Chain A
Amino acid sequence: AQTVTQSQPEMSVQEAETVTLSCTYDTSESNYYLFWYKQPPSRQMILVIRQEAYKQQNATENRFSVNFQKAAKSFSLKISDSQLGDTAMYFCAFDSGAGSYQLTFGKGTKLSVIP
């Protein structure tokens, strides 16, 4: 069974600064997908970024980028130029691919952006 671990229950960052959220996972699969989801106080689940394991290049979406280390099974999220609207819970999620349909989520990291 796959597991996803987010070791930082809470983090804070000053507005305009950069913050990195950690995620590690355990799997025996080779072709899989990784995601970061944002859950603001409104409780929506918003996809922030995705990474396909077969791609060596780290995914980037505007101020959000990942550091994907396949051998280390690590998938961290970097948020640059943090904004107040980035305040939310962030969940790392794993999909084992090959037609699977279950997403496995970590317990989340609560990020607070401080003005």
Chain B
Amino acid sequence: NAGVMQNPRHLVRRRGQEARLRCSPVKGHSHVYWYRQLPEEGLKFMVYLQKENIIDESGMPKERFSAEFPKEGPSILRIQQVVRGDSAAYFCASSLRQGDQPQHFGDGTRLSIL
């Protein structure tokens, strides 16, 4: 059974470009969570999505960041016009039902902004 798959593992972007991070949840899981880990910090919740719905985006910056989880395909975290401060590791987790613990984490995408 495949776990949560994130790609790419590493992504390098120049300031002003767009970054698209992908997350395929565990097969059968319809709940996806995105977390961000800044250098020397723990993970911080960004957004929670179910298929085709954003449930809670309270941890996501209002500007430049968006997330989706379409009916078909992976969840996408999109960062427009990236800045140096966006450099971080972005983790995706999934669960079968809301509130199921533990959430299953992917290996993360490390985003570096030049």
Asked whether, in the complex, the Cβ of B101 is within 8 Å of the Cβ of A95, the reply is: yes
Task: For the complex formed, measure the closest distance between the CB of B40 and the CB atoms of chain A, giving whole angstroms.
Answer: 8
- B32-67 Cβ-contact flags toward A at 8 Å (1 or 0): 010100001111110010000001100100000000
Asked whether, in the complex, the Cβ of A45 is within 8 Å of the Cβ of B108, the reply is: yes
Asked whether, in the complex, the Cβ of B107 is within 8 Å of the Cβ of A44, the reply is: yes
Asked whether, in the complex, the Cβ of B108 is within 8 Å of the Cβ of A35, the reply is: no
Asked whether, in the complex, the Cβ of B110 is within 8 Å of the Cβ of A101, the reply is: no
Asked whether, in the complex, the Cβ of B33 is within 8 Å of the Cβ of A35, the reply is: no
- Identity of the chain B residue whose Cβ is nearest the Cβ of A50 in the assembled complex: B102
Interface size on A, residues (CB 8 A): 25
Q: Tell me the A78-101 residues at the B interface (CB within 8 Å).
A: 91, 93, 95, 97-101
- B1-45 Cβ-contact flags toward A at 8 Å (1 or 0): 000000000000000000000000000000101010000111111
- What are the residues of chain B within 8 A of A45 when measuring CB–CB? 43, 91, 105, 107-108
- Identity of the chain B residue whose Cβ is nearest the Cβ of A42 in the assembled complex: B107
Number of A-B contacts (CB under 8 A): 62
Task: For the complex formed, measure the closest distance between the CB of A93 and the CB atoms of chain B, giving whole angstroms.
Answer: 8
Asked whether, in the complex, the Cβ of A101 is within 8 Å of the Cβ of B33, the reply is: yes
Query: CA of A28 to CA of B79 in the docked complex: distance in angstroms?
Result: 35
Asked whether, in the complex, the Cβ of A101 is within 8 Å of the Cβ of B31, the reply is: yes
Asked whether, in the complex, the Cβ of B110 is within 8 Å of the Cβ of A43, the reply is: yes
Asked whether, in the complex, the Cβ of A99 is within 8 Å of the Cβ of B107, the reply is: no
Asked whether, in the complex, the Cβ of A101 is within 8 Å of the Cβ of B44, the reply is: no
Would you give 14 A-B contacts (Cβ < 8 Å), ordered by A? A43-B108, A45-B43, A93-B42, A101-B48, A102-B33, A102-B56, A102-B59, A103-B35, A103-B43, A103-B93, A103-B103, A105-B42, A105-B43, A105-B44
A residues with a Cβ closer than 8 A to B are: 4, 33, 35, 37, 42-45, 47, 50, 91, 93, 95, 97-108
B residues with a Cβ closer than 8 A to A are: 31, 33, 35, 40-45, 48, 55-56, 59, 89, 91, 93, 95, 98-99, 101-103, 105, 107-108, 110
